[in-house]
Amino acid sequence: MYGAGDVRVETVPDPILNQPTDAIVRIVRACVCGSDLHPFHDMPAGAVGTPMGHEFLGVVEEVGSEVRTLAPGDFVIAPFAWSDGTCDFCREGLQTSCRHGGFWAGNGIGGGQAEAIRVPQADGTLVKIPAGVDAALYPSLLTLSDVYGTGYHAAVRGRVTARTTVTVIGDGAVGLMAVLSARQLGAERIILMGRHTSRTDLGREFGATDVVAARGEEGIALVRELTGGDGTHVVLEAVGHLPAYEQAVGVVRAGGVISRVGVPQYEQAPVGFGSLFGPNVTLTGGPAPVRAYIDRLLPGVLDGSVQPGKVFDRTVSLSETPEGYRLMDSREALKVLIAP
Amino acid sequence: MYGAGDVRVETVPDPILNQPTDAIVRIVRACVCGSDLHPFHDMPAGAVGTPMGHEFLGVVEEVGSEVRTLAPGDFVIAPFAWSDGTCDFCREGLQTSCRHGGFWAGNGIGGGQAEAIRVPQADGTLVKIPAGVDAALYPSLLTLSDVYGTGYHAAVRGRVTARTTVTVIGDGAVGLMAVLSARQLGAERIILMGRHTSRTDLGREFGATDVVAARGEEGIALVRELTGGDGTHVVLEAVGHLPAYEQAVGVVRAGGVISRVGVPQYEQAPVGFGSLFGPNVTLTGGPAPVRAYIDRLLPGVLDGSVQPGKVFDRTVSLSETPEGYRLMDSREALKVLIAP
């Protein structure tokens, strides 16, 4: 990406092993993330491009001398953050704060929207998938790179159980994964706030019991009406813009939790007596340590009992990636798969 | 209180039973709260005074026809919020959001800095103390009205355990009670941020292992230094001003919790990627449902194993209450007891 709206497909040098803990992975599937749209909207134009993409499945081509758990030919999922898997944060399940970790597409590490990539801390980062998996499962497996684990993180941090009512704000891929995750954690009442019928229909399929298309004060009033005036115990905020935060404050029940996984496009927000403090509302969330959830979520994907891959409604080739951005930005596509 | 700095002791009509669920209580001990200092600083002057005080011990004088658990002569503790004890919020332990509850000193309910008071929802609100308790225990019992339960709420909401390191911001009575509570919940490392040696000394007695007198960036750097650069798992914020919030953000470990019980004197604060979101920090807290904690904390007070009453370092008579405000405001007193 060279700036807002300017995505180019270019030939760059092949990645090579740099550290003994690296692996080189040939990418089999990648995709465009809702968060890729933020720089697509506001990145200043520059002479040097930034590699893009942080979600991919691939086949290991080569491993460094210290890589122990992987070998060429292994089929792997990559989480959207790389991590050593051994530090205290990783052991606590907060791989996004790994002491030797980082994020794709920066600091000399490439992006996933590519043919191949160098993976740092390969043992800690990559998760092996059983050989011979049906290609029909690739889209669902790919959601474990980010959106499924991110939705699940929202629900886990929100402490969703069978006893909690839930509102999900946002009908993008992460919002829909938050619905699916809340259902998996037992929630029986899940209100999805979103305006795109095709998406909210998929949300119903994933477990939403109610859909509220209105936003702002009107949307808040409707959720309150659906919940006897109280709001829901948990709100999963999967948008990242300030109005979505304000909506979350408006629909959360006293004593409840707002769990954010939409990357905030604001720094300041209301947290005082009138918003969070007075009603003892908890604000939680952050970048999901999806690596922590893959082991738990993979079996359901492999046996087909959950089909998070339904969020992909378009597939493009690597050379068509710029068109993939356009399709997502214009809301013509919910989430775009890239098959290099 | 008639306005900032203007506290008067006046003769008003005796409280009378108004609802069948009311009780009339003769006040035995009351006190001035740190939160009473907020209106003492900025309340607009007016022709009509506002009753003050929300912490008291007393003796039941009279009960309404529907009061079942109390009788004249009972010695009781009043939490700083009154509540029915039966609604869903009360059953969940969030009495501050009771559907039929409220706060003292407003809406026709008097304040605790008085000779007597009408207590609404007496069955749900008041907690009976065994008859014949030694008067030496009154100060400690009185802390169960607010500051002890508030410090405990901070620690509970912060999920303090033996495995968590803790920073407490503020060396007022609530901050010191947060130290005591964190210790009771098992914390072995408790860093107290406060500038008043006499108070931080008491904090050490309550369980603080380290004291940091510096504030702002310097204070943050010192706490980071004490924790290998990481900050602490839990931060208990017992001040309520924005710089204390910013300090909390500065000293919390990634994945940790900031638990606020200082009433926020701000509405907007940083919550974006650079403060809470990026490091997956949780923000929690609010007005403490102290009623929920009295049963748990009372035994330790009665058997003398904890002595939260040490936060009282001055006693005044009811007529000296204005002087009590002055003493606390000027920091000459940590917390002022009122013996009517």
- Which chain B residues are Cβ-neighbours of A233 within 8 angstroms? none
- Both A129 and A169 in one domain: the answer is no
- Both B212 and B237 in one domain: the answer is yes
Residues 6+ apart with CB under 8 A from B187: B155, B160, B161, B162, B164, B165, B166, B207, B234
Percent of chain A with pLDDT over 70: 100
Nearest CA to CA, how far is B107 from chain A (Å)?
A: 18
Return the residue of A nearest to B95 by Cα.
A255
Q: In whole angstroms, what is the distance from residue A213 CA to residue A194 CA?
A: 5
Determine the structural domain holding residue B303 and report its residue range. Answer: 23-146+289-338
- Residue that terminates a domain, selected from A250, A267, A285: A285
Residue A192 resides in a domain: yes
- Both B263 and B184 in one domain: the answer is yes
- Both A53 and A169 in one domain: the answer is no
Sign of CA dihedral A101, A104, A105, A109: positive
- Both B203 and B178 in one domain: the answer is yes
B157 at interface of A, judged by CB pairs closer than 8 A = yes
| pLDDT tier for residue A244 given thresholds of 50, 70 and 90 | very high
A94 at interface of B, judged by CB pairs closer than 8 A = yes
Beta strands in B149-271 (DSSP E): 165-169, 189-193, 210-212, 232-237, 252-260, 268-270
Residue contact B268–A270, C-beta within 8 A: yes
The pLDDT assigned to B340 comes to: 85
* pLDDT tens readout for residues A102-145: 999 888 899 999 999 999 999 999 999 998 999 999 999 999 99
- Which chain A residues are Cβ-neighbours of B283 within 8 angstroms? 271, 276, 282-284
Return the residue of B nearest to A288 by Cα.
B280
- Which chain A residues are Cβ-neighbours of B255 within 8 angstroms? 89, 92, 94, 97
Residue contact A282–B283, C-beta within 8 A: yes
Residue B217 resides in a domain: yes
The pLDDT assigned to A131 comes to: 87
- The single-letter code of the amino acid at A84 is D
- Both B214 and B242 in one domain: the answer is yes
pLDDT above 90 (res B327): yes
- Both A37 and A137 in one domain: the answer is yes
Which among B153, B116, B175, B124 has a CA at the least distance from the CA of B288?
B153
Which of A92, A96, A278 lies closest to B287 in CB terms?
A278
A49 at interface of B, judged by CB pairs closer than 8 A = no
The pLDDT assigned to B216 comes to: 96
Q: What is the domain-level CATH number for residue B223? A: 3.40.50.720
Which among A65, A128, A121, A66 has a CA at the least distance from the CA of A95?
A121
pLDDT above 90 (res B173): yes
Residue contact B255–A92, C-beta within 8 A: yes
Q: In whole angstroms, what is the distance from residue B179 CA to residue B199 CA?
A: 12
- Which chain B residues are Cβ-neighbours of A274 within 8 angstroms? 267
- Both B27 and B124 in one domain: the answer is yes
Cβ burial, residue A176 (10 Å; 0-12/13-18/19+)? buried
Percent of chain B with pLDDT over 70: 100
Domain tally, chain B: 2
Which of B89, B273, B281 lies closest to A263 in CB terms?
B273
- Which chain B residues are Cβ-neighbours of A96 within 8 angstroms? 280
pLDDT above 90 (res B107): no
B133 at interface of A, judged by CB pairs closer than 8 A = no
In a mutational test of the A interface, the residue from B92, B271, B290 whose CB has the highest number of chain A CBs within 10 Å is B271
Residue contact A254–B89, C-beta within 8 A: yes
Residue contact A267–B270, C-beta within 8 A: yes
Q: In whole angstroms, what is the distance from residue A90 CA to residue A243 CA?
A: 33
The pLDDT assigned to B131 comes to: 87
In chain A, which among 97-116 make CB contacts under 8 A with chain B? 97
Return the residue of A nearest to B287 by Cα.
A278
Mean confidence (pLDDT) of chain A = 97
* pLDDT tens readout for residues A123-134: 999 999 998 999
B87 at interface of A, judged by CB pairs closer than 8 A = no
In a mutational test of the A interface, the residue from B275, B283, B293 whose CB has the highest number of chain A CBs within 10 Å is B283
Residue contact B157–A282, C-beta within 8 A: yes
Which of B270, B281, B286 lies closest to A280 in CB terms?
B286
Nearest CA to CA, how far is A269 from chain B (Å)?
A: 5
* pLDDT tens readout for residues A246-284: 999 999 999 999 999 999 999 999 999 999 999 999 999
Q: Residue B164 — φ and ψ, nearest 5°?
A: -105, 140
A271 at interface of B, judged by CB pairs closer than 8 A = yes
Residue contact A277–B268, C-beta within 8 A: no
Q: In whole angstroms, what is the distance from residue A245 CA to residue A265 CA?
A: 10
Is residue A202 a contact partner of residue A196, using CB atoms and an 8 Å limit?
A: no
- Both A293 and A281 in one domain: the answer is no
Residue B17 resides in a domain: no
B278 at interface of A, judged by CB pairs closer than 8 A = yes
Residue contact A283–B285, C-beta within 8 A: no
- Give the residue-averaged pLDDT of B46-53: 95
The backbone region for B47, taken as left when phi is positive above 0, alpha when psi lies in -120 to 50, beta otherwise, is alpha
- Which chain A residues are Cβ-neighbours of B267 within 8 angstroms? 270-275
Is residue A1 a contact partner of residue A311, using CB atoms and an 8 Å limit?
A: no
> What does R_g of chain A's alpha carbons equal in angstroms?
20
Residue contact B267–A267, C-beta within 8 A: no
Nearest CA to CA, how far is A10 from chain B (Å)?
A: 31
Sign of CA dihedral A329, A143, A309, A7: positive
* pLDDT tens readout for residues B68-96: 999 999 999 999 999 999 999 999 999 99
Is ipTM beyond 0.85? yes
The pLDDT assigned to B108 comes to: 86
pLDDT above 90 (res A340): no
Residue B14 resides in a domain: no
Return the residue of A nearest to B263 by Cα.
A273
- Which chain A residues are Cβ-neighbours of B287 within 8 angstroms? 277-278, 280
pLDDT above 90 (res A31): yes
Which of B245, B277, B289 lies closest to A285 in CB terms?
B277
Q: What is the domain-level CATH number for residue B113? A: 3.90.180.10
- Both A100 and A219 in one domain: the answer is no
Residue contact A279–B97, C-beta within 8 A: yes
The backbone region for B272, taken as left when phi is positive above 0, alpha when psi lies in -120 to 50, beta otherwise, is beta
* pLDDT tens readout for residues B245-266: 999 999 999 999 999 999 999 9
- Residue that terminates a domain, selected from B264, B285, B306: B285
Residue A128 resides in a domain: yes
Q: In whole angstroms, what is the distance from residue B312 CA to residue B325 CA?
A: 13
- Both A126 and A187 in one domain: the answer is no
Q: Mind giving me the DSSP string for A221-268? A: HHHHHHTTTS-EEEEEE-S-SHHHHHHHHHHEEEEEEEEE-SPPS-SE
- Give the residue-averaged pLDDT of B140-149: 98
Mean confidence (pLDDT) of chain B = 97
Residue A6 resides in a domain: no
- Both A171 and A261 in one domain: the answer is yes
- Give the residue-averaged pLDDT of B148-166: 98
Residue A4 resides in a domain: no
> A–B: how many Cβ contacts below 8 A?
110
- Helix, strand or coil for residue A270? strand
Residue A107 resides in a domain: yes
Which of B264, B270, B280 lies closest to A94 in CB terms?
B280
The pLDDT assigned to A260 comes to: 98
- Which chain B residues are Cβ-neighbours of A283 within 8 angstroms? 271, 276, 282-284
